[in-house]
Amino acid sequence: MGKLSVNLCGIDLDNPVIPASGTFGFGYEFAQYYDINVLGTFSFKGTTLEPRFGNPTPRIAECKAGLINAVGLQNPGIDKVISEELPKLKKVFNKPVMANVGGFSVSDYVTVCKKLDAEEQVGWLEVNISCPNVHAGGVNFGSDPKGAYEVISAVKKEVSKPVIAKLTPNVTDIASIAKACEDAGADGVSLINTLLGMRINLRNRKPVIANTMGGYSGPALFPVAVRMVYQVAKAVNIPVIGLGGIETAEDVLEMMMAGATAVEVGSANLVDPYACKNIIENLPKAMEKYGIENLKDIIGGVK
């Protein structure tokens, strides 16, 4: 059987498959379906400084090849995540977990990351710089290199664990954003987050989503994600996590050939709770089909 293990920012993973933040809760919800320790790791629900109820409903709109969501970072806040969610997780998951962090100011990010950095269960800090900067008119931190650099450099000064910058695809040049994160000290980058999308109800002529627009995810994004991962992997010398529309073991191989060290699976978890488990189980067969003995050998291996 082929070797599935990879190393992500100095931490070994049994395989490169990681459920994406916002699609896997805090892990224990999925542990009722299968042993989640089969995963490489997972990125838990985006956590902010204060509790957030999220955006008004409806928050989700189905599309032909994916879905649009505007959940709005609903979460109980960092203190309850540490006091309530992580102890529940520890009972069902014995590997380092990836902590996804959201913020609306640089100080938000720093405070939350410092608290999570002190938690033994946390292996990586995935800093979602797709959040709006309330001090800059709501523009996303990750929309320009300067904003991305500011957040990542501030966090890196205060933490010891690997920092992974999660990038938005809603930019002209994603490679320049990734390079700014690398220059700021990021240990890795993950991409892509959702594209901005919208649906309209033909009967009432109003947006389907109460928030008007939301994040579009699903299999339709896969070619865009592969392209952006390829571009970023060529531009930086730090590990890249590829995500966006991954549904199969073959998708994992393609994303890794584009330059990803590991992958995150998002919307597929919402369709089938066993999605990641099935992908992992199918990886050896896919590797054999394409003559791959060791997954590490195909990272960035597109000719």
Does residue 174 fall inside a structural domain?
yes
**Using CA atoms, how far apart are residues 172 and 98, in angstroms rounded to an integer?**
28
**Partner residues linked to 242 by β-bridges:** 191, 263
Cβ-contact 221, 229 below 8 angstroms? no
Does residue 66 fall inside a structural domain?
no
Number of H helices, E strands in the chain: 9, 17
Q: Which distant-in-sequence residues (6+ apart) come within 8 Å of 205 by Cβ?
A: none
Cβ-contact 103, 131 below 8 angstroms? yes
Amino acid at 285: K
Q: Which of 9, 63, 113, 131 is catalytic?
A: 131
pLDDT digits (tens, 9 = 90+) for 236-265: 999 999 999 999 999 999 999 999 999 999
3-state secondary structure of 176: helix
Does residue 192 fall inside a structural domain?
yes
pLDDT digits (tens, 9 = 90+) for 61-111: 999 899 999 998 999 999 999 999 999 999 999 999 999 999 999 999 999
Does residue 303 fall inside a structural domain?
no
**Using CA atoms, how far apart are residues 96 and 129, in angstroms rounded to an integer?**
22
How sure is the predictor about 1, in pLDDT bands with cuts at 50, 70 and 90?
low
- Count how many domains the chain has: 1
Does residue 232 fall inside a structural domain?
yes
131 is catalytic: yes
* CATH assignment of the domain containing 102: 3.20.20.70
Does residue 161 fall inside a structural domain?
yes
pTM confidence score: 0.96
Closest CA to 290 of 244, 259, 256: 256
